[in-house]
Amino acid sequence: MNIVIVGQGAIGSLLAARCHTQGLNYRVLGRTPTLQPIDWQPYQGEPFSFNPPAITPQTMRGDELLILPLKAYQILPALKLLKPYLKKQKLLLLHNGMGTQSEVEALLPGLPLALGITRMAALKQANRVTETGLGGTDLGWVNPPPKADCLAVEDLLDALLTPCQWHEDLKPLQWAKLAVNAVINPLTALHNIANGQLAQPEYQGQIQALNEEIAMLMRALNIQGVQDLAPRLTQVIDATAANYSSMHQDVTHGRKTEIDYINGYLINEAKRLGLSLPCHVSLYQAIKALQI
């Protein structure tokens, strides 16, 4: 089974480097048939350069594992373009936020689908891709393929994404990450600060209000882990103190953000239940205003 990595972003390039190093059968599906060469700097070890092998949608056979390490808002447009060429491929979505699952299931009903939450970290600057931290990946099937294909996919991903763990229900972990992202990402983007600066006293009132709204929504949805929201957030802020969030970087460089799939997702879920999240709505509107 060939791995097809969609895009040449930071994580896509990291995955290509891992495939190259491990000798896995893989191809990269880029915006154009001509791909960028990658100057790879692993977290540990010597740097090297390589040219990832390309694939076009027309030459896919139908039995590939497609990994989509894209921004959440890029998932649906990418799959709409690929839809005429998708037959029995297995899909893995790797992105921040939530909400793409229902979009993909509506577009491609019945196609095998898995979701992933990754803590892999990489920085891409032109052709230079630097692995900035080692982290694991949590995986879960939404629509598994037949058992033999399922085991083949899991074996491939166990090698490529090590350390990784498969879960019967990924939702609690998705919400745990969403809750962290819904505070750190927009606040650091709005105030133009590194993650660690959120530990300062001036931000604690806003952080507490945001956490309380997320906790209310999680209780209404019967999602586990409400008691862990505040300590987990503090832990991530401390552990990533020197980092700048992806949303901060998107705003800084004038790019579209994933706010619709982070705070926007929370707001929509609350509306569906007849609840309101005024602090998240205010933050959502502030980030949207920065994108205009």
> Which H/E stretch holds residue 160?
helix 147-160
Query: Residue 43 contacts by C-beta under 8 Å, 6 or more apart in sequence?
Result: 131, 132, 133, 134
Cβ-based neighbour number of residue 66 at 10 Å: 22
Q: Is 282 exposed, middle or buried (0-12, 13-18, 19+ CB in 10 A)?
A: middle
Cβ-based neighbour number of residue 109 at 10 Å: 8
pLDDT for position 292: 64
Strands (E), 24-148: 26-29, 38-41, 48-50, 65-68, 90-94, 113-118, 121-125, 128-133, 137-143
> Which H/E stretch holds residue 256?
none
87, 177, 256, 288: the catalytic one is 177
Residue 18 has pLDDT above 80, yes or no: yes
The domain made up of 3-166 is a member of CATH 3.40.1670.10: no
Average pLDDT score over residue span 61-89: 96
List the structure tokens of 78. 């990418």
Domain assignments of the chain as residue spans, ordered by start: 3-166, 171-290
Query: Residue 36 contacts by C-beta under 8 Å, 6 or more apart in sequence?
Result: 8, 30, 127
Q: How far is CA 102 from CA 7, 70, 98, in A?
A: 22, 16, 9
How many whole angstroms from its chain centre is CA 35? 22
Residue 291 DSSP symbol:
T
Percent of the chain whose pLDDT exceeds 90: 92
Measured between its terminal Cα atoms, the distance across the chain in Å is: 43
Residue 144: cis peptide before it, omega within 30 degrees of 0 = no
pLDDT for position 197: 98
pLDDT for position 16: 97
Phi, psi angles (nearest 5°) of residue 128: -85, 125
**pLDDT band (50, 70, 90) for residue 231:** very high
Residue 37 has pLDDT above 90, yes or no: yes
Shared fold status for 3-166 and 171-290: no
Average pLDDT score over residue span 40-69: 96
Tens digits of residue pLDDT in 255-290: 999 999 999 999 999 999 999 999 999 999 999 999
**DSSP output for 191-204:** HT--GGGGGSGGGH
Strand partners, 28: 5, 54
pLDDT for position 69: 97
In contact, 67 and 92? CB cutoff 8 Å: yes
**pLDDT band (50, 70, 90) for residue 70:** very high
Residue 14 has pLDDT above 70, yes or no: yes
> Which H/E stretch holds residue 125?
strand 121-125
Residue 184 has pLDDT above 90, yes or no: yes
Average pLDDT score over residue span 229-248: 94
Residue 132 has pLDDT above 90, yes or no: no
Average pLDDT score over residue span 210-226: 97
CATH of 171-290, one of 3.40.50.300, 3.10.180.10, 1.10.1040.10, 3.40.50.170: 1.10.1040.10
**pLDDT band (50, 70, 90) for residue 135:** confident
pLDDT for position 97: 95
Q: Is 98 helix (H, G, I), strand (E, B) or coil?
A: coil
pLDDT for position 274: 98
pLDDT for position 134: 84
pLDDT for position 291: 81
Between 37-51, 123-137, 184-198, 226-240, the lowest mean confidence (pLDDT) is in 123-137
- State yes or no: is 177 an active-site residue: yes
The overall average pLDDT reported for the chain is 95
In contact, 49 and 13? CB cutoff 8 Å: no
For the question of whether the overall pTM of this predicted structure is more than 0.85, the answer is yes
